[in-house]
């Protein structure tokens, strides 16, 4: 309660020339965040939005970036400090982006916007307005606007992104593929299926060139193409594409789960601590691990979204393909395992074990997963 | 009067000169100032440029993209994702394959598939067809499409890619849930065997990859034979993509390594084709890669069985001959004899003169090795009687007999036969045989005269020395040396 009254600032009380603006809307600021004391807001509403969106996670790390820098005597020290700041900013950009991405996949569009805006601002600060690194943040913003229903805003963001890409000579391929994917998503929402298909074809092409044709990261494009064909009623094409998506995710998830369950056996022998019970040694290391973790979370959220929708479609088919259903259920159990939702894992493993003609390898993997859970 | 008449004729009925134009056309005025002409041209250009339609966004992209990328995008746009992945795989396979044959093979000079537009286009079109048929579960069509692709690349000398598609055909045919005919399975094995045999051309002679290729080819040909056995299949061409010339070329490529007498066989049935290739491979493996003579004999026996089942006399005969040779090499002359007799019977039955001759010769040699010289003479005389006069077999027969008599020491008879052979070959005017036989005649006669020469030298009388001198100068006179008795002795 005392915190709430302490966070008011008066614009007229600022020193001459300094104007503090709201984080989200750039209006003159009336409130300050108590914990870091470098972030300003115009009213409580914006403060709460920002807190839930991104500020909760990056509150402390914003301090070194926004505090006015003291004078350091030697050139080397100044250089070193600049280097450190640069690294911190880069890490922060990655981190905020992955958080925003995760919220996007979970469907929480409003929450994703502050993170994306922060990352965009940081990139503009660091690289300028014409760099290609702006594009992923624009894409996230575009997708969030589309999710909230604001198609014209989304179109604007995406056009900006496209212009940046066209203007820069060497755009890295994953960014290109994401761009085309988002443009296609917007076109699907508008109903322009032909152009969406063309853009998705471009997306899959670039993603395949970057990651290889069997990688799970190409599957997002395939999923969207399949959705279009499903809407157009071309069931055979959609069916073969869905199968491909499931195969790709299946292979990837199996690999990750096997690695995790294997390591745990060795760890119990050696008495190592689990990865999650880590202590925060330094701030930087924390950030790196956090970024990896949130990237994993983002891909888990994507997997959940994709697999659940395919599962629904398959269950509602007139002649259900049992082998395919088994595969999807296995994938879902693995996703929940990686997300540490063990009760749901239990549901799926019971469902799978009740099926008679289960593959031997699958069965043994299930056993390992259950064993791992019980060790916890 | 005449002049008036002519005048009249010029006035009345005037004949039109066909060369004059019927309508007067004004001649074109050249522009009197050249810069106006330039301006006009520029204005026209601008007008036509404005009239041109602006390119669509996607047409612009088409012009910017590489051909391969454009094809990929077309495929993906229509949902043919498997074709896309397969194309990607094939392009990577090409590079791998080039490393397989070593970096100095001439194949490195050919352009990569990325850059060959017509091939890429055909490939993508067919891959799309295959994927469509696969979705509709029409596996026969998938098989035929893959077969078309394999043949297409074979005709264009891309054997690495044709082997890839032949392998695909085999997996499709072997997959029991597709319910394809055994004929397709057999043909798939046959095609793959031929591909492996072609692969051996890529390697240098010392590499041991050749052996593994041949052995793989052998295994596939055996499967081909087993599946084709007992069934009356015939080749049918289902594809509309190939012209008649192409089909002929394909058949030629198929029979590339087959023996000459079989090459002109008109459209053999599947079973005969299998026999031909299988026995050929058995022969190659036996000759090059058998570790001991027993293994060689095994392979050749198997080849003989195959040929027997094919019911083609010449094949069976050849196989028996080779088997017989193998047995003689390893020393089992009796079984060799049996084989040669088989060969003899078959060529007699088929009235094949040349093979009949070879068979008789072989039997004769065998008997000779066994020591049964009378038997061999008998056979050779049988041969002689059944052979026509003005035929090269006649000279061969005579030569054989001459050889035998030489060995026996009966030089006169040998010389006789050699002369007959020589005359025969002169008659039919075969140059190489003429030289051959001439030498043989000379040899035989020399042997015949040897005895008398020795006698002349030993005796050393004036008469004999005279004889010798005379003989040296006039070697055509055959009886000079024989006349050793002196006048005194006669008296």
* Chain segment B318-361, per-residue pLDDT in tens: 788 888 888 877 877 778 878 878 877 877 777 777 777 777 77
Which one, of B156, B74, B76, lies nearest residue B121 by Cα? B74
pLDDT at B472: 80
Segment A24-50 mean pLDDT: 87
Determine contact: B84 vs chain A, CB below 8 A. yes
Task: Report the C-alpha gap between B26 and B418 in whole angstroms.
Answer: 98
Which one, of B109, B204, B118, B188, lies nearest residue B153 by Cα? B118
Q: Answer whether B115's CB lies under 8 Å from B126's CB.
A: no
B268, pLDDT greater than 60:
yes
Please indicate whether, in this complex, the C-beta atoms of A241 and B58 are within 8 angstroms of each other: no
Task: Report the C-alpha gap between B241 and B258 in whole angstroms.
Answer: 27
- Tell me which H or E stretch contains B177: none
Phi, psi for B237 (deg, rounded to 5)? -100, 115
Please indicate whether, in this complex, the C-beta atoms of A213 and B89 are within 8 angstroms of each other: yes
Q: Which residue pairs, CB below 8 angstroms and at least 24 apart, start in A261-268? A: A261/A368, A261/A369, A261/A371, A261/A372, A264/A372, A264/A375, A268/A375
- Tell me which H or E stretch contains B26: none
Q: Answer whether B163's CB lies under 8 Å from B97's CB.
A: no
Question: Which residues of chain A neighbour B64 with C-beta distances below 8 Å?
Answer: none
From the list B58, B72, B135, the residue facing A236 with the nearest CB is: B135
Please indicate whether, in this complex, the C-beta atoms of B84 and A214 are within 8 angstroms of each other: no
Task: Report the C-alpha gap between B486 and B469 in whole angstroms.
Answer: 15
Residue A146 Cα, gap to closest chain B Cα (Å) = 23
For residue A366, CA distances in Å to A144, A265, A300, A307, A333 come to 37, 15, 19, 19, 9
A184, pLDDT greater than 50:
yes
- For A234, nearest residue in chain B (alpha carbons): B79
Q: Answer whether B242's CB lies under 8 Å from B151's CB.
A: yes
Q: Write out pLDDT tens, residues B192-202.
A: 888 888 887 77
pLDDT at A180: 92
A210, pLDDT greater than 50:
yes
Task: Report the C-alpha gap between B437 and B403 in whole angstroms.
Answer: 12
Write the Ramachandran bin of A359: left for phi over 0, alpha for psi from -120 to 50, otherwise beta.
beta
Q: How far is CA B290 from the centre of its chain?
A: 25
Higher pLDDT, A267 or A33: A33
Determine contact: B88 vs chain A, CB below 8 A. yes
Average pLDDT in chain B: 77
Phi, psi for A257 (deg, rounded to 5)? -65, -40
Task: Report the C-alpha gap between A321 and A331 in whole angstroms.
Answer: 16
Question: Which residues of chain B neighbour A244 with C-beta distances below 8 Å?
Answer: 81-82
Domain around B96: 66-103+111-136
Q: Write out pLDDT tens, residues A102-156.
A: 888 888 888 888 889 989 999 998 898 888 888 999 999 999 999 898 899 999 9
Please indicate whether, in this complex, the C-beta atoms of A213 and B88 are within 8 angstroms of each other: yes
B100, pLDDT greater than 70:
yes
Q: Answer whether A146's CB lies under 8 Å from A189's CB.
A: yes
pLDDT at A83: 92
pLDDT at A286: 59
Q: Which residues pair with A40 in a beta bridge?
A: A32
Question: Which residues of chain B neighbour A205 with C-beta distances below 8 Å?
Answer: 69, 72-73, 76, 84
DSSP type of residue A32: E
Question: Which residues of chain A neighbour B69 with C-beta distances below 8 Å?
Answer: 205
Question: Which residues of chain B neighbour A208 with C-beta distances below 8 Å?
Answer: 84-85, 88
Greatest extent of chain B over all pairs of C-alpha atoms, in Å: 133
Confidence grade of residue B12 (pLDDT, cut at 50, 70, 90): low
Confidence grade of residue B385 (pLDDT, cut at 50, 70, 90): confident
E-strand stretches of B32-163: none
A261, pLDDT greater than 60:
yes
Q: Encoding tokens for residue B158? A: 């891309």
Task: Report the C-alpha gap between A155 and A297 in whole angstroms.
Answer: 27
From the list B74, B84, B135, the residue facing A240 with the nearest CB is: B135
Which one, of B273, B135, B101, B120, lies nearest residue B203 by Cα? B101
Q: Write out pLDDT tens, residues B472-490.
A: 887 666 666 666 665 444 4
Query: Picking from A77-91, A309-323, B118-132, B400-414, which range would have the lowest pLDDT averaged per residue?
Result: B400-414
Which one, of A28, A57, A55, lies nearest residue A41 by Cα? A28
Tokens 């006039």 belong to B474
Which one, of B443, B437, B373, B458, lies nearest residue B408 by Cα? B373
Domain count, chain B: 1
From the list A197, A240, A244, the residue facing B77 with the nearest CB is: A197
Task: Report the C-alpha gap between B62 and B46 in whole angstroms.
Answer: 25
At A148, is the secondary structure helix, strand, or coil? helix
* Close Cβ partners of B371 (under 8 Å, ≥ 6 residues apart): none
Question: Which residues of chain B neighbour A237 with C-beta distances below 8 Å?
Answer: 79, 135
- For B73, nearest residue in chain A (alpha carbons): A201
B127, pLDDT greater than 80:
yes
Q: Is residue B465 part of a domain?
A: no
pLDDT at A106: 84
Q: Where are the alpha helices (DSSP H) in A316-376?
A: 322-338, 342-353, 360-375
Q: How many CB atoms lie within 10 A of CB A185?
A: 22
For residue B111, CA distances in Å to A190, B86, B96, B119, B395 come to 44, 20, 15, 12, 56
Q: Mind giving me the DSSP string for A192-213?
A: -HHHHHHHHHHHHHHHHHHH-T
Which one, of B107, B113, B195, lies nearest residue B154 by Cα? B195
A207, pLDDT greater than 60:
yes
B312, pLDDT greater than 70:
yes
Which one, of B405, B407, B409, lies nearest residue B420 by Cα? B405
Interfacial B residues in 233-272 facing A (CB < 8 Å) = none
A287, pLDDT greater than 70:
no
Tokens 């005048």 belong to B7
Q: Write out pLDDT tens, residues B356-383.
A: 777 777 777 777 777 777 777 777 777 7
Which residue out of A192, A193, A204, A246 would a mutagenesis test of the B interface target, given it has the greatest number of B Cβ atoms within 10 Å? Answer: A204
Q: Write out pLDDT tens, residues B242-262.
A: 777 877 777 777 777 777 666
- For A203, nearest residue in chain B (alpha carbons): B73
B220, pLDDT greater than 50:
yes
Cα angle A358, A362, A363 (rounded to 5 degrees) comes to 70
pLDDT at A278: 42
Segment B151-173 mean pLDDT: 86
From the list A234, A239, A241, the residue facing B81 with the nearest CB is: A241
Cα angle B2, B8, B13 (rounded to 5 degrees) comes to 135
Question: Which residues of chain A neighbour B131 with C-beta distances below 8 Å?
Answer: 240
Segment A259-277 mean pLDDT: 63
* Close Cβ partners of A145 (under 8 Å, ≥ 6 residues apart): A109, A151, A153, A154, A157
Higher pLDDT, A284 or A153: A153
B9, pLDDT greater than 60:
no
From the list B74, B85, B131, the residue facing A213 with the nearest CB is: B85
DSSP type of residue A318: S
pLDDT at B4: 47
Q: Answer whether B142's CB lies under 8 Å from B133's CB.
A: yes
What is the b/e burial string over B313-348, where b = at least 16 CB atoms within 10 angstroms of the residue's CB?
Answer: bbbbbbbbbbbbbbbbeeebbeebbbbbbbbbebbb
ipTM over 0.95: no
CA dihedral B94, B95, B100, B104 (to 10 degrees): 110
Question: Which residues of chain B neighbour A198 with C-beta distances below 8 Å?
Answer: 58, 73, 77
The topology under which CATH files domain A70-171 is: 1.25.40
Q: Is residue B293 part of a domain?
A: no
A4, pLDDT greater than 60:
no
Q: Which residues pair with A28 in a beta bridge?
A: A21
- For A193, nearest residue in chain B (alpha carbons): B77
A97, pLDDT greater than 80:
yes
Q: Is residue B79 part of a domain?
A: yes
Segment B287-309 mean pLDDT: 80
pLDDT at A350: 80
Instruction: Tell me what percent of the residues of chain B surpass a pLDDT of 90.
Output: 1
Segment A253-274 mean pLDDT: 71
A99, pLDDT greater than 80:
yes
Q: Encoding tokens for residue A236? A: 């055979």
Please indicate whether, in this complex, the C-beta atoms of B76 and A237 are within 8 angstroms of each other: no
Sign of the alpha-carbon torsion through B104, B109, B114, B118: negative
Query: Picking from A328-337, B92-101, B349-358, B440-449, which range would have the lowest pLDDT averaged per residue?
Result: B349-358
Determine contact: B114 vs chain A, CB below 8 A. no
Segment A332-357 mean pLDDT: 80
Determine contact: B73 vs chain A, CB below 8 A. yes
Query: Picking from A184-193, B11-20, B161-170, B434-443, which range would have the lowest pLDDT averaged per residue?
Result: B11-20
* Close Cβ partners of B428 (under 8 Å, ≥ 6 residues apart): B390, B391, B392
Please indicate whether, in this complex, the C-beta atoms of A229 and B79 are within 8 angstroms of each other: yes
Q: Encoding tokens for residue A301? A: 């959220």
- For B86, nearest residue in chain A (alpha carbons): A213
Question: Which residues of chain B neighbour A240 with C-beta distances below 8 Å?
Answer: 79, 81-82, 131, 135
Residue B86 Cα, gap to closest chain A Cα (Å) = 9
pLDDT at A209: 87
pLDDT at B358: 76
Confidence grade of residue A179 (pLDDT, cut at 50, 70, 90): very high
Q: Is residue B83 part of a domain?
A: yes
Higher pLDDT, B376 or B162: B162
Please indicate whether, in this complex, the C-beta atoms of B136 and A204 are within 8 angstroms of each other: no
Confidence grade of residue A2 (pLDDT, cut at 50, 70, 90): very low
pLDDT at B489: 45
**Chain A residue set in contact with B, beta carbons under 8 Å:** 197-198, 200-202, 204-205, 208, 213-214, 222, 225, 229, 234, 236-237, 239-241, 244
Cα angle B247, B252, B257 (rounded to 5 degrees) comes to 150
Q: Write out pLDDT tens, residues B38-49.
A: 888 899 999 888
pLDDT at B295: 80
Average pLDDT in chain A: 83
Q: Answer whether B162's CB lies under 8 Å from B154's CB.
A: yes
Higher pLDDT, A224 or B308: A224
What is the b/e burial string over A255-288, where b = at least 16 CB atoms within 10 angstroms of the residue's CB?
Answer: ebbeebbeebeeeeeeeeeeeeeeeeeeeeeebe
Query: Picking from A111-120, A228-237, B148-157, B371-380, which range would have the lowest pLDDT averaged per residue?
Result: B371-380
Determine contact: B77 vs chain A, CB below 8 A. yes
Task: Report the C-alpha gap between B166 and B82 in whole angstroms.
Answer: 18
Q: How many CB atoms lie within 10 A of CB B208?
A: 9
Task: Report the C-alpha gap between A226 and A220 in whole angstroms.
Answer: 10
Task: Report the C-alpha gap between A307 and A203 in whole angstroms.
Answer: 20
């Amino acid at each position: 309660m005392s915190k709430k009254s302490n966070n008011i600032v008066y614009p007229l009380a600022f020193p001459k020339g300094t104007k503090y603006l709201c984080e989200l809307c750039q209006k003159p600021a009336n409130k300050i965040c108590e914990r870091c004391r470098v972030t300003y807001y115009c009213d409580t509403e914006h403060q709460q939005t920002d807190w839930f969106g991104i500020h909760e996670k990056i509150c402390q790390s914003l301090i070194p970036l926004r505090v006015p820098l003291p004078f350091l005597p030697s050139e080397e020290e100044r250089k070193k400090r600049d280097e450190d700041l640069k690294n911190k900013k880069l890490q922060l950009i990655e981190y905020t982006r992955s958080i925003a991405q995760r919220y996007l996949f979970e469907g929480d569009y409003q929450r994703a916007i502050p993170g994306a805006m922060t990352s965009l601002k940081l990139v503009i600060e660091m690289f300028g307005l014409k760099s290609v690194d702006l594009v992923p943040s624009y894409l996230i913003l575009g997708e969030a606007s589309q999710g909230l229903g604001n198609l014209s805003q989304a179109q604007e963001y995406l056009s900006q992104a496209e212009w940046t890409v066209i203007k820069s000579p060497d755009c890295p391929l994953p960014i290109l593929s994401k761009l085309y994917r988002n443009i296609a998503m917007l076109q699907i929402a508008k109903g322009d299926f032909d152009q969406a298909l063309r853009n998705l074809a471009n997306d899959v092409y670039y993603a395949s060139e970057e990651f290889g044709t069997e990688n799970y990261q190409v599957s997002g494009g395939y999923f969207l193409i399949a959705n279009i064909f499903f809407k157009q009623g071309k069931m055979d094409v959609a069916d073969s594409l869905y199968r491909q998506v499931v195969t790709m995710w299946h292979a990837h998830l199996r690999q990750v789960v096997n690695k995790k369950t294997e390591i745990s056996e060795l760890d119990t022998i050696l008495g190592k601590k689990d990865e999650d019970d880590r202590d925060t040694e330094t701030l930087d290391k924390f950030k790196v691990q956090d970024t990896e973790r949130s990237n994993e979370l983002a891909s888990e959220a994507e997997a959940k979204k994709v697999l659940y929708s395919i599962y629904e479609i398959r269950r509602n088919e007139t002649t259900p393909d049992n082998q395919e259903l088994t595969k999807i259920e296995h994938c879902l159990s693995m996703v929940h395992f990686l997300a540490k939702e063990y009760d749901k894992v239990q549901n799926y493993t019971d469902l799978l074990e009740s099926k008679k003609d289960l593959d031997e390898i699958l069965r043994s993997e299930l056993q390992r997963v259950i064993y791992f859970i019980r060790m916890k | 009067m005449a002049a008036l008449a002519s005048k009249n004729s010029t006035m009345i009925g005037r004949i039109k000169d066909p060369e004059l134009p019927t309508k007067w056309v004004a001649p074109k005025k050249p522009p009197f100032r050249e810069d106006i002409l330039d301006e006009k041209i520029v204005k026209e250009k601008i007008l036509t440029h404005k009239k041109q339609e602006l390119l669509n966004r996607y047409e612009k992209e088409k012009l910017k993209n590489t051909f391969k990328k454009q094809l990929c995008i077309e495929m993906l746009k229509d949902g043919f994702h498997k074709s896309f992945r397969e194309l990607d795989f094939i392009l990577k396979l090409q590079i791998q394959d080039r490393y397989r044959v070593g970096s100095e093979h001439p194949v490195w000079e050919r352009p990569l598939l990325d850059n060959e537009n017509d091939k890429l286009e055909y490939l993508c079109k067919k891959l799309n067809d295959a994927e469509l048929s696969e979705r509709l579960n029409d596996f026969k069509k998938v098989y035929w499409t893959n077969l078309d692709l394999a043949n297409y690349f074979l005709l264009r000398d891309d054997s690495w890619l044709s082997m890839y598609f032949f392998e695909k055909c085999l997996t499709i045919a072997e997959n029991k849930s597709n319910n394809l005919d055994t004929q397709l399975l057999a043909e798939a094995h046959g095609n793959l065997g031929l591909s492996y045999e072609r692969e051996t051309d890529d390697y240098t002679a010392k590499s041991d990859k050749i052996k593994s290729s041949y052995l793989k080819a052998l295994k596939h040909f055996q499967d081909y034979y087993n599946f084709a056995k007992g069934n009356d299949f015939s080749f049918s061409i289902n594809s509309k993509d190939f012209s008649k010339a192409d089909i002929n070329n394909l058949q030629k490529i198929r029979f590339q390594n087959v023996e000459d007498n079989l090459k002109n066989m008109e459209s053999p049935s599947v079973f005969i084709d299998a026999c031909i290739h299988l026995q050929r491979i058995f022969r190659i493996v036996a000759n090059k890669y058998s570790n001991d003579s027993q293994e060689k004999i095994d392979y050749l026996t198997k080849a003989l069985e195959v040929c027997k089942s094919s019911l083609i006399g010449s094949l069976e005969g050849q196989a028996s001959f080779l088997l017989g040779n193998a047995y003689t090499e390893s020393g089992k002359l009796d079984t060799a004899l049996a084989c040669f007799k088989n060969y003899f019977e078959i060529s007699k039955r088929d009235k094949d003169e040349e093979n009949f001759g070879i068979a008789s010769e072989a039997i004769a040699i065998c008997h000779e090795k066994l020591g049964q010289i009378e038997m061999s003479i008998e056979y050779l005389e049988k041969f002689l009687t059944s052979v026509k006069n003005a035929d090269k077999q006649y000279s061969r027969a005579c030569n054989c007999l001459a050889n035998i008599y030489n060995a026996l020491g009966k030089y006169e008879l040998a010389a006789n036969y050699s002369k007959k052979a020589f005359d025969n070959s002169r008659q039919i005017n075969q140059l190489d045989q003429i030289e051959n036989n001439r030498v043989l005649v000379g040899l035989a006669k020399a042997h015949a005269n040897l005895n008398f020469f020795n006698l002349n030298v030993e005796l050393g009388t004036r008469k004999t020395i005279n004889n010798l001198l005379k003989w040296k100068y006039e070697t055509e006179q055959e009886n000079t040396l024989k006349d050793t008795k002196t006048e005194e002795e006669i008296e």
